A and B are shown apart, each in its own frame.
Chain A
Amino acid sequence: MKVGLKLFASLAAHLPAEARSSHRLDLDVEPGTTVADLIRRQGIPPDQCAIVLVDGVWVTQAGRAARALAEGEVLAIWPPVAGG
């Protein structure tokens, strides 16, 4: 099953060098893979995952282990950031 992973700001360091400018990596994962599974698999420190969106929709910290990704969905993650 194909899913997308987008990592922004300092988390882009967890992407292969060739994917860093696009901030996006396309991955083949087992059906049933959850948000928490993918975070673990890619070696992203969970405590650095402050904003976690699947197709633009917020996934709570508690919900990450239960939220299974579906074919074609994109997981986007940011460390603690803000603006204004």
Chain B
Amino acid sequence: MAWTKNVLRVNLETGSCTTEPLNMEWAQDYLGQRGLATKYLVSETDPKVDPFSPKNKMIFVTGPLTGTMAATGGRYSVVTKGPLTGAIACSNSGGYFGAELKFAGWDMVIFEGASAKPVYLLITDGKAELLDASHLWGKTVWETEATIKKYHQDPQIRVAAIGRAGENRVLYAAIVNDLHRAAGRSGVGAVMGSKNLKAVAVRGTRTDAYHLADPEAFFAATEAGKKVLAANGVTGQGLPTYGTQVLMNVINELGALPTRNHRDIQFEGAMAIGGEAMHEKRPTDGKANLITNGACFGCTIACGRISRMDPGHFSIKDKPQYKGASGGVEYEAAWALGAANGVSDLEALTYANFLCNEDGFDPISFGATVGAAMELYELGLLTKEEIGFELPFGSTEGMVRLAELTAVGEGFGKVIGLGSKRLCTKYGRPDLSMTVKSQEFPAYDGRGLQGMGLAYATSNRGACHLRGYMVSPEVLGIPMKMEPQATEGKPAMLKAFQDLTAVVDSSGLCLFTTFAWGLSDIQPQIQAACEGDWSEERLLLVGERIWNMEREYNLGAGLTGKDDNLPPRLMKEPAKTGPQKGAVSKLDIMLPEYYQVRGWTPEGVPTAETRMRLGV
């Protein structure tokens, strides 16, 4: 019974905030968070809806383990139809916001319609109201959070807000909570902006918000889980010390680091922007970029990076607001802002990352779009006159200028805010957009890691590393080592990863626990927290059901098997250097097998038998 069993429904058109009981039948089939909110979305909206239409809904949702003492139990998700992809969007965030929402007494908040004027939702224990946000419109995430806390005289209010990127409908705008944790991908922030909803502010102190099914068993299961995390080399030492950024050199050495819009597969500047570099003292001021690590609610891993920039760096010389400690670059951000466009200035990447947090936009899609613009510039398809400045690969100044222009929608930043697919299409070369379903790739090349290529192609929310992290077997040897270029067994392994990930994303836990935890570590925690029978088999069935439900939504939205594709560059241009030299993606071999393993037709549609088995 770790659910509060309460849903808050907010009609932005009428201003009403009403509580209704959580559909517990659905909770038994979809668990919570990603799965449960998607079930609500698919049941209440037409998948063909324009993402910016008031008819599109947006759901903030927690999992049953959110706000409990389970390690990493602080996650929440935002589920809606994404404007970047036209597909299901589900963006997951940490920090403290999710747990606070649970303590206030709700499992999820469903936003309907659109407000005529800017508003923010204030939630306190058992009470919710929409308040005028006219004075907040035009402000950054950071200013918004500070203003709300000051106005309500409560520094412990947790705020999830959009910045100017969301207001200006940058197609990859994020929702940022706790200053630098983000529901980052697929443009959920732009949907929030389209609804004139500036922020959700929560203060929850209820100790009776939810009840654990078996408290004693839950304490034992979570305690056992924490011991596993602490004893594991990755979650006990590697992630807290170096963060995800330690992967930069691993992936580069392995020859799978997409560089300069995927023209290259290794980056000569990787060493300068990786996790180790963040620890090294700068020659300029003798201090390291990294100050310390940080943790989200209930987390015993603490992979977050807290950085302080070189105060003399050109990008912040006269900007004191960026000279303090703030959220540093994680691996995907450092790759996108750096290797993807050939920039190797760690301080510049940190500044751009600060801007992404401050004004709420996804550094992966932003950085990758800059990389595409640089290629168009080098090909002469984009000119200095159009951009306003020169933009060759490796231009630190160019990347920084675009980071400053994008959220506010000024100059060429307005075009960058459309994402690389629309940018490259506008300039006649859609093939140069390194995307799947119009969402930019993260930091692994699908030629170098065949399983990741398949994971990107089949991800329900467009190119994404967090829907089936095949890097684990292909690079890290977790749970077993698979050769990067092999295709055998990858479709089945990917399906298992995708289904398990859907379970974790629906529980309230962080996916990073799975570097140490298997389903046998997670299952006892869910079983002890939630009423009902939650065997491992049933949980995997829930995961598979969620995956297929998302697929059905996308099919209903008009996507087809043809969208399970990779750009021609990955299919036809062999990797130029390194151990994967000569490789192209073997998607054509893996995809038919993947459809088969999924119980889908050769066209990528779930068969009647699969639908019946899963009850989708």
Contacts and interface: CB of A to CB of B under 8 A. Distances in A.
B233 A56 contact: no
Contacts of A57: 579
A83 B443 CA distance: 11
Contact of B483 (A10, A53, A58): A58
Nearest to B469: A84
B232 A58 contact: no
Interface string B244-275: 11110110011100000000000000010001
A78 B512 contact: no
A82 interface: yes
A28 to B, nearest CB: 22
B475 A51 contact: yes
B476 interface: yes
Nearest to B248: A83
B242 A9 contact: yes
Contact of A23 (B249, B483, B515): B249
A84 B466 contact: yes
B238 A51 contact: no
A81 B275 CA distance: 11
Contact of B247 (A22, A55, A80, A81): A81
Contacts of B233: 48, 50, 79-80
Interface string B515-532: 100000000000000000
Contacts of B246: 8-9, 78, 81-83
A6 B330 CA distance: 23
Interface in A40-84: 48, 50-51, 53, 55-58, 60, 76, 78-84
A67 B345 CA distance: 37
Contact of A82 (B238, B255, B271, B276): B238
A22 B249 CA distance: 12
B250 A80 contact: no
Interface residues of B, number: 42
A45 B544 CA distance: 41
Interface residues of A, number: 25
Contacts of B232: 80
A57 B275 CA distance: 21
Contacts of A58: 477, 481, 483
Contacts of A79: 233, 237-238
Contact of A83 (B247, B254, B255, B276): B247
A12 interface: yes
A60 B481 contact: yes
A21 B280 contact: yes
B205 to A, nearest CB: 33
B234 interface: yes
Contacts of B332: 84
A81 B242 contact: yes
Given A78-B246, A79-B233, A9 B254 contact: no
B254 A84 contact: no
Nearest to B244: A83
Interface in B109-154: none
Nearest to B232: A80
Nearest to A21: B280
Contacts of A9: 238, 241-242, 246, 275-276
B253 A82 contact: no
Contacts of A56: 253-255, 578-580
Given A56-B578, A83-B246, A84-B244, A23 B238 contact: no
Nearest to A81: B238
Given A9-B275, A51-B475, A56-B253, A82 B481 contact: no
Interface in B562-609: 578-580
Contacts of B239: 81-83
B472 interface: yes
Given A8-B250, A12-B276, A60-B481, A84 B255 contact: no
Contacts of A10: 237, 241
B553 interface: no
Interface string B273-294: 0011000100000000000000
Contacts of B244: 82-84
B465 interface: yes
15 contacts: A9-B246, A21-B280, A23-B271, A51-B250, A58-B483, A60-B481, A78-B250, A81-B239, A82-B234, A82-B247, A83-B239, A83-B245, A83-B330, A84-B247, A84-B512
